[in-house]
Amino acid sequence: MRVSTMTVYRLIKAGELAAVRVGKSYRIREDDVDRYLEARYTEAG
C-alpha cells in the first residue's frame, strides 16, 4: 500500500481495515486489503 506501519495500525484501530491479532502482530487478508483499496479508489475518482 506504500504507507507507513503506523498508518496501517491507525486504519485497523479505526475499523477501516479488517485485521486479526495473532500474538503481538496483526494479520490482514488480501481480500480485505483489496476491498479497502477499491472503496478508497472509487471515493477519490
Residue 28 CA to residue 19 CA, distance in Å, equals: 5
Tell the residue number behind the cell numbers 500474538, with chain if given.
Answer: 23
pLDDT for residue 14 is more than 90: yes
The answer to whether the beta carbons of residues 9 and 29 sit under 8 Å apart is no
pLDDT for residue 11 is more than 70: yes
Residue 38 CA to residue 10 CA, distance in Å, equals: 19
pTM: 0.80
Identify the band that residue 43 occupies on the pLDDT scale cut at 50, 70 and 90: low
